Amino acid sequence: MVEALGAHLRTWSERLDRQAEVSRNVLDTRLGAASWSGLAADVFSDRLRSLMSSASDAAARHAEGVEAATRWSGSMGLAQSDADRALRDAEDALADLELAQESVAALGAEHAALLSALSAVQKAYASTEKPPPGKSAPSAGEVSAARRREQEASADLTTARFAVEDAQERLEDAKRRARDAKREYDAAEKVFADALDAALHGALTTVAKPELQAFASMVGKLSKISPTASVNATLLDTLKSLTPQELATLVADDPPILQQFWQHPPSPDQVATWWTGLDPEAQGAIEVAVPGVLGNLAGLPYAVRGRCNLEIYKAARSHSGTLTPQQRKVLTALGDVLADPSASLICFNLDASVPMVAVGYGDLDTADTVTWAAPGMLSDAADATKGWSRSAKNLYTQQNLVDDRTHGVVAWLGYDTPDLVTVNNPAAAQNGSWRFAAELDGTCAARTAKPAYVSVVAHSYGTTMAADALTHTKHPVDSFTMLGSAGIDTQVVTSLSDLHVKQASGSAAIYTTAAALDYLAPFGSTVGGRAEPNPEAAFSPAAAAANAVLVMPPKVMGGAQSFSSEGAVLPGGDVLKPTKGHSALGGTPAENDPNLMNGTAPVGHGYLDPKTESLYNAAYTTIGLPGEVVGGLRPTG
């Protein structure tokens, strides 16, 4: 049996080696790249590479299984031989024991009779009484003869008893050796089982027939998509063409495709049309099959995205041990943020270049206004999820305080934000702008039945990224508000009129503010060579210091309407605090010590802290009520 198992494993090892070689040969032909390319070829190539790798690994593991079987066969043979010898010895000892016991029983009875006879002869020999008539007293010779017979019987009985003890000892020894052989057999069997399990576990991944059928059908459908189509269009055609099971197979076979959906999102308008054309049963099936795709698919209802992302988030938490420290930090922060019943997870992408998320407040599918909030430098999700979500929640709360309509705000942390070194480079803004533009168009696409007032609020370098994005959008947003702008990238935006922003009262609904004590923003815009949308900031002492070092004139980009962040008293007597630094939220008391360029505002004095004039005015500009801005608006030229 063991030899047969070894032969079977050896056959499989050789077969798998051949399978790996065939896969390698097919890949080496580049799959006829001149005639077959596109997503189908990519997916098929990935599966073939995976198959080749799995087959090679499985072949090696089956070879290890052969070795384990061989070792077990030897061990089993030795143990079986020991057990067989022990059994034969036990049978012999048992037979000898039975004979010896019978002999002891017979000799015991004989010895007892002889002992009784000797006792009677000795008694008669020693008696002084006259024997009965017809009887004679025994002679000394007769007494001696009786004694010899008793002694001989006693010796035979002792020998028989020794034979019993010897047989019993041999029987116990045979039993012990049988037990030892059994233990050795069991131990060898466990070693074999463990070795075989280690060798073969996962070596042959069983692929259910339906999955194979789904894969074949999927590749067939993907091969019909034009290989010359854009990635965005190809992904949309993929959604339209595949069944839920085929989509699930695609994602399982090619996980990087999730990043393609993020980096090259399909047209939100077409996504919305595709989704609304499905019946509820089909929608539910796709939601179950590929939540990782739908959760980040601009153009879908936000309730669908929120449910899908929550499922992926829960799955990530259950396997957090396999994640990076950055990914775990995001999960921990989201645990606190999502405890707020008004919060939902609009984007969730742990596997991007850095983890990326977006947290929504309010019902984004029905809210009368939807504001997308974009952060500046040093605001990757791993470090800024809590802080930027709190900034967005402050704005959401203020909007609801000043207006009776329903509102929604999204804290968007969906791009790789720059640090203190790379902030002077436009690459981060340009790279992030495409995804942000898709999200803005996605709100318009998802809300065609009940259009919302869609606005953008951005802080610091976020204004650079958001301005770039507003040159890419298909649908103009209703307003754009900049807080402490780090400047506009003139390589992308030559004028604020390039931005796809609607007009309000005859002027573009573009609003800006810069606090007098915010030295970092104008310094950064000058050093980065970007145009400052706040003229007063462009000629501030901080900007002048940067200009003196760089020996270059300041860049100014007019076309916006500015409002104050310096504090105010409302007609009812409520006092609005001034912004006293660059940060969106004021720092901790320890951070209130002097800091570079007032990069961190004092506690309660950031741009989006409660009861600041900046937050108060931004709440109005982001919901389409610029006429309510305290102190009014001033054109920037």
pLDDT interval class at 188 (50, 70, 90): low
Could you give the CA distance from residue 291 to residue 6 in angstroms, rounded to a whole number? 44
- Whole-number average pLDDT of the chain: 84
Of the two residues 446 and 59, the one the predictor is more confident about is 446
Burial of 572 (0-12, 13-18, 19+ CB in 10 A): exposed
Of the two residues 212 and 339, the one the predictor is more confident about is 339
C-alpha distances in angstroms, 45 versus 15, 24, 207, 257, 310?
A: 21, 10, 18, 14, 32
Residue with tokens 């609904």: 509
Please name which of 505, 460, 498, 500 lies closest in space to residue 480, comparing C-alpha atoms: 500
Please name which of 525, 515, 531 lies closest in space to residue 567, comparing C-alpha atoms: 515
Of the two residues 357 and 134, the one the predictor is more confident about is 357
Question: What phi and psi values does residue 254 have, to the nearest 5 degrees?
Answer: -140, 70
Q: What is the pLDDT of residue 177?
A: 76
Q: Could you tell me which residues are beta bridge partners of residue 370? A: 408, 454
Q: What is the pLDDT of residue 526?
A: 85
pTM for the predicted model, two decimal places: 0.73
Could you give the CA distance from residue 227 to residue 480 in angstroms, rounded to a whole number? 38
pLDDT interval class at 163 (50, 70, 90): confident
State yes or no: pLDDT of 473 exceeds 90: yes
- Cα–Cα–Cα angle for 65, 25, 40, rounded to 5 degrees: 105
Q: Which of 20-29, 150-159, 430-439 has the highest mean pLDDT?
A: 430-439
Tell me what percent of the residues of the chain surpass a pLDDT of 70.
74
Question: What phi and psi values does residue 359 have, to the nearest 5 degrees?
Answer: -110, 125
Q: What is the pLDDT of residue 241?
A: 92
334 φ/ψ sector (left φ>0, alpha ψ -120 to 50, else beta): alpha
Q: What is the mean pLDDT of residues 504-523?
A: 93
Q: Which of 205-214, 340-349, 420-429 has the highest mean pLDDT?
A: 340-349
C-alpha distances in angstroms, 3 versus 65, 84, 321?
A: 12, 20, 42
State yes or no: pLDDT of 26 exceeds 60: no
